[in-house]
Amino acid sequence: MSEGEIAINVEALYQEAATLKEYIDSLQKTLNEVLDSIDSIRASKSAIDEIAKQNQEFLLIGDRKGNVIFKVGNINNVKVIVHLGLQYFVEVDPQTAKRILDDKEKELNDYSKALQAELAKSLDAYNQLAQVLAAIQAQAQKGE
């Protein structure tokens, strides 16, 4: 090895790239789940607003696939039950429910921004590592 050359453990770089790729995939999955939760919270707040309108019939879906749909009317909009987290629920008036949901949405938005920043940082590191590996591969092909 001549002066100015650096010894690189290529196998370690590939392993680092694989580990980083798994981390990126995990971050992306978590981010998608958080964004889905934000959408659910927004839909819940919208439902609270709709129920506030009197004398309407509503369709309530019994499951995620819509196998059963209930047609209901005269919903009591004085109290709603809000999931606080874990196994805790609270029965409150609609405005308090919306405030609770607003707080949850803000927390999730903050978490989403943090995840996006970490994802961008990790993608940048992965791309730099991929460039190094591509340069090593190109150099190895020249040497053959």
The set of residues, in sequence order, having a beta carbon less than 8 Å from that of 38 and lying 6+ positions away, is: 105, 108, 109, 112
The set of residues, in sequence order, having a beta carbon less than 8 Å from that of 98 and lying 6+ positions away, is: 45, 48
- Whether 1 contacts 7, CB under 8 Å: yes
Rounded distance between C-alpha atoms, residue 81 and residue 51, angstroms: 13
Is residue 15 pLDDT above 70, yes or no?
Answer: yes
State mean pLDDT over 11-31.
94
**Closest to 116 (Cα-Cα) out of 25, 9, 37, 31:** 31
**Is pLDDT larger for residue 137 or for residue 31?**
31
Instruction: Identify the helix (H) or strand (E) that includes residue 98.
Output: helix 94-143
pLDDT class of 53 with cuts at 50, 70, 90: confident
Q: Which pLDDT belongs to residue 50?
A: 81
pLDDT class of 138 with cuts at 50, 70, 90: confident
Q: Which pLDDT belongs to residue 36?
A: 96
**Is pLDDT larger for residue 76 or for residue 81?**
81
